């Protein structure tokens, strides 16, 4: 079976990552992932107001995943729905596992991601961008968060579903995020219908895919912060 855009089953869409493109933010990232475009910014750690919202043991991660009204074919109301709130919650928890939050008690780290154009896989694109933006902001982290979805379309296990595949009837979609290079799972969601064998296959596929995403994130960051005076010279 061939895919809509001719990709192999375990092939990612083209990904382009730009680091630090917004002056006013402590950290930022612009990311193009197939036909998805995402903007992520980071502000903080900064004192939290009102103070009672703070935690005396760690920084609060305030992660927002939002879809612009013009990011999908039917205009989406700008007020966040339950889906956006849930994605914000689990994505924030995923990033929290990477950040040394205990170093910044009574503060908040604001992480804003906005989908400018959506083509399936937006939560993993946003999380991938947010992780790069956190690195750009100089936030102490155990590693980067690298994410991608895998799933089952027409009984085939495939990596990185695009809109046409996600919209196919009976599709299973499973966004996964890893803390890299530790390879620990920090986000995993799924809805669909798979047997045990397909389940293991798509988890492995998304793990391998996330490792590829990690290489692209590293490349973008090292281009922004090149190693000076290479030893070989």
Partner 1 sequence: MNEIINTLYAEEVKNAIKAGGQRLDKRKLDEFRKIEIKKGGLNWADGSAIVKIGDTEVVCGIKFEIGEPYPDSPDQGSMTLNIELTGIASPEYFTGPPTLEAMEYGRIADRVIRSAEIIDFKDLCIIPGEKVLLIFIDCYAINAAGNIIDATEIASICALLDAKIPKIDENNKIIKGEYSDKKLNIKKIPLSFTFEKIENKIVLDPTDKEEDAGTTRFSIGICEDKIVSCQKSKSGTFTQKEILEMTDIALKKYGEIKKEILKYIKM
Residues in contact with partner 1 by the rule CB under 8 A: 74, 82, 85-86, 89-90, 93-94, 96-97, 174, 179, 182-196, 199-200, 203-204, 207
β-strand 15-19 against 27-33: which pairing, if any? antiparallel
Closest distance to partner 1 from the beta carbon of 199 (Å): 5
Closest distance to partner 1 from the beta carbon of 224 (Å): 27
Cα angle value 141/109/40 (rounded, 5°): 85
Sign for the CA dihedral angle at 174, 144, 39, 59 comes to: positive
Q: CA 165, CA 232: separation in Å to the nearest integer?
A: 47
Is 166 exposed, middle or buried, given 0-12, 13-18 or 19+ CB atoms closer than 10 A? middle
Residues 121 and 36 sit within 8 Å (Cβ to Cβ):
yes
β-strand 172-180 against 144-153: which pairing, if any? antiparallel
Closest distance to partner 1 from the beta carbon of 63 (Å): 11
Residues 212 and 12 sit within 8 Å (Cβ to Cβ):
yes
Closest distance to partner 1 from the beta carbon of 71 (Å): 17
Closest distance to partner 1 from the beta carbon of 185 (Å): 5
DSSP 135-177: HHTT--BSSEEEEEEEEEETTEEEES--HHHHTSTT-EEEEEE
For residue 23, the tally of other CB atoms under 10 A from its CB is 6
Closest distance to partner 1 from the beta carbon of 218 (Å): 20
Q: CA 25, CA 217: separation in Å to the nearest integer?
A: 19
Closest distance to partner 1 from the beta carbon of 188 (Å): 4
């Amino acid at each position: 079976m061939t895919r809509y855009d001719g990709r192999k089953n375990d092939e990612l869409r083209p990904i382009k990552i730009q680091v630090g493109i917004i002056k006013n933010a402590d950290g930022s990232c612009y990311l193009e992932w197939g036909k998805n475009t995402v903007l992520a910014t980071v502000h903080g750690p900064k004192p939290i107001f009102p103070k009672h919202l703070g935690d005396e043991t760690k920084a609060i991660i305030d992660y927002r995943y939002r879809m612009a009204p013009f990011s999908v074919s039917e205009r989406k109301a700008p007020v966040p729905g339950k889906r956006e709130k849930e994605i914000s919650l689990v994505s924030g928890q995923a990033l929290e596992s990477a950040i040394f939050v205990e170093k910044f008690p009574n503060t908040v780290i604001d992480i804003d991601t906005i989908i400018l154009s959506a083509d399936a896989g937006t939560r993993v694109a946003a999380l991938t961008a947010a992780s790069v933006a956190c690195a750009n902001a100089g936030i102490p982290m155990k590693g980067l968060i690298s994410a991608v979805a895998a799933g089952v379309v027409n009984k085939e296990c495939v990596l990185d579903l695009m809109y046409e595949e996600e919209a196919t009837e009976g599709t299973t979609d499973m966004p996964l995020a890893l803390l890299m290079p530790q390879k620990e799972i920090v986000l995993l969601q799924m809805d669909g219908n798979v047997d045990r064998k397909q389940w293991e296959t798509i988890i492995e596929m998304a793990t391998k895919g996330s490792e590829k995403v990690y290489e692209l994130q590293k490349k973008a960051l090292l281009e922004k912060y090149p190693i000076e005076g290479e030893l070989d010279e």
